[in-house]
Amino acid sequence: MLVFSRTAGFRHDSIPAGIAAVEDLGREHRFAVDATEDAASFTPSNLSRYRVVLFLSTTGNVLEGSQRDALQEFVRSGGGFVGVHAAADALYDWPWYGSLLGAFFARHPAVQPARIRVEDPASASTRGMPNPWA
């Protein structure tokens, strides 16, 4: 898997933690993970080394001409694509990418306080969480 986290707009502080999480998943499930912010990685030759490309909170215009062509050919040839969080806040001028994602980021709503009631404290997804959780 190639994890791409280049930003040309807002940069999320969570990117390093996101890369570490994907690397942990790779070790646990035995798949290789390379992380980069180098758009020059998007060549047909280099992308042929991967089964999946993951855009991790990319923002702004992060790929150009032949780099875009390489990603498009990779996906059209059966390569996987995963867009995480702000991946929809990138490449607004590229209709193919918008179609791949299904939508572009429009705006971020204001952060709102919430009180969450944990229904199943024994579940792996909620184990150890306070109940209620603010």
The pLDDT, as a whole number, for residue 111 is 86
> What's the pTM value of the predicted model, to 2 decimals?
0.84
Residue 99 sits at the vertex; the CA angle it makes with 96 and 105, to the nearest 5 degrees, is 110
pLDDT of amino acid 22: 97
CATH superfamily of 2-101: Class I glutamine amidotransferase (GATase) domain (3.40.50.880)
Confidence (pLDDT) at 69: 98
- Give the type of residue at 4: F
Per-residue pLDDT band at 1 (split at 50, 70, 90): very high
* Whole-number pLDDT of residue 89: 96
> Residue 128: is its pLDDT beyond 90?
no
Q: What was the pLDDT predicted at 12? A: 95
- At position 42, the amino acid (one-letter code) is F
pLDDT in tens, 58-110: 999 999 999 999 999 999 999 999 999 999 999 999 999 999 999 999 888 88
Q: What letters, b where the CB count within 10 A reaches 16 and e where it falls short, cover 70-98?
A: bbbebbeeebeeebbbbbbbbbeebeebe
